[in-house]
A and B are shown apart, each in its own frame.
Chain A
Amino acid sequence: MELSQIFSLIFARNQSGIEASYDGFEHADSVLQLPGRSNCMNWVLGHIAVYRDAMLAAIGQNTYMSSGDSIMYGYGSQPIYEDSSCLDVGRLIKVLDGGYGVLNEWLEHNHLDFTMITPGELYVRKGDTIGEHLAHLLAHEAIHVGELNALRELALVRLGKGWK
């Protein structure tokens, strides 16, 4: 098992978790709030999209989110509530699908050089080499994917499909 296969496997698991989380939901379901200072699904999906863009930019691919989007969903940004300005969840899903497709195709190419130096002009730069940058960002992404599980359960309860 090569490094690119390890990245592909983790990335596919993340994307599968993302797709399972919003299946059957509408925009209003994405701004439901859990107790405390957790973020809603809309913020988590947007945050993942911003950091996926940082992976795409590092490998020289086109990005999807504007600078305004990055401010809205980046590190330290404000929570998103029902009456906050935010991207429609349909748009976020398209961005995440698009970014996944490009990254997955890049990882499937042979002879990738993960020792390439990570470019300097990135929204977030998590390692000196592309391999290190991707490892950090994939783990960061996976943790946020995990946050979606409870948010999906919350939305199911609201829809009358939950068990509590």
Chain B
Amino acid sequence: MNRTEVFAIIFKRNQGAIMNAVEGLSHAEGLLQLPGDSNCMNWVLGHIATYRDGMLADIGIEEYMSEEETSLYGSGSSPITNDSPCVEFSRLVELQKLTFDGLYGWLKSDPKDLNKETRSDMPFKKGYGGYWGSVVEHLAQMTGHESVHVGELSALHELAKVSMADK
């Protein structure tokens, strides 16, 4: 058991839960709101993808999100509601797959540069790209962060099921 194996286990668990949460849902269901100051599924998915793309940036492999997309889903971004600008649900689902494949594939390739410094030339803010001192620190901080947001999806999935049953 080494550090990359731990990150791979966590990402794989997260990805499984994400794909369960989005299964069978449409764009409209991704905008349903729970009581209080919770975020909708669209925001949570975009937030997860943004922070994953920040990890890909620091690792130095292919990234998938534009500045326009990431600006909607960063830390402190506005809630997304029915009339907000947002990324299409199907694109967000695609981003979950692309970013997972990038991160998981890299982790399973037995990378030797886990301790390398993060980027100092990020062209725009993307998650925590370029923020932490090293790639391993970035992954350690953000895998747990991601899992917590993945947990938020289960109640949103239930909400969507209730909404669909009512139609």
Contact = CB atoms under 8 A, between A and B. Distances in A.
Nearest to B7: A6
Contact of A154 (B9, B10, B35, B145): B35
A163 B151 contact: no
A157 B140 CA distance: 34
A29 to B, nearest CB: 12
A123 B108 CA distance: 30
A124 interface: no
Interface stretch (A33-41, A65-73, A85-93): A33-41
Given A143-B17, A144-B151, A154-B36, A10 B140 contact: yes
A132 to B, nearest CB: 6
Given A139-B147, A143-B148, A150 B3 contact: no
B36 A142 contact: no
A139 B13 contact: yes
A136 interface: yes
Interface residues of B, number: 40
Contacts of B17: 143
A3 B9 contact: no
Interface string A14-44: 1001000000000000000011111000000
Main secondary structure on A side of the interface with B = helix
B35 A157 contact: yes
A162 B34 CA distance: 11
A114 B152 CA distance: 30
Interface in A51-80: none
Interface of A: 1, 3, 5-7, 9-10, 13-14, 17, 34-38, 114-115, 129, 131-132, 135-136, 138-140, 142-154, 156-157, 162-164
Interface of B: 1-3, 5-6, 9-10, 13-14, 17, 33-38, 115, 134, 136-137, 140-141, 143-145, 147-159, 161-162
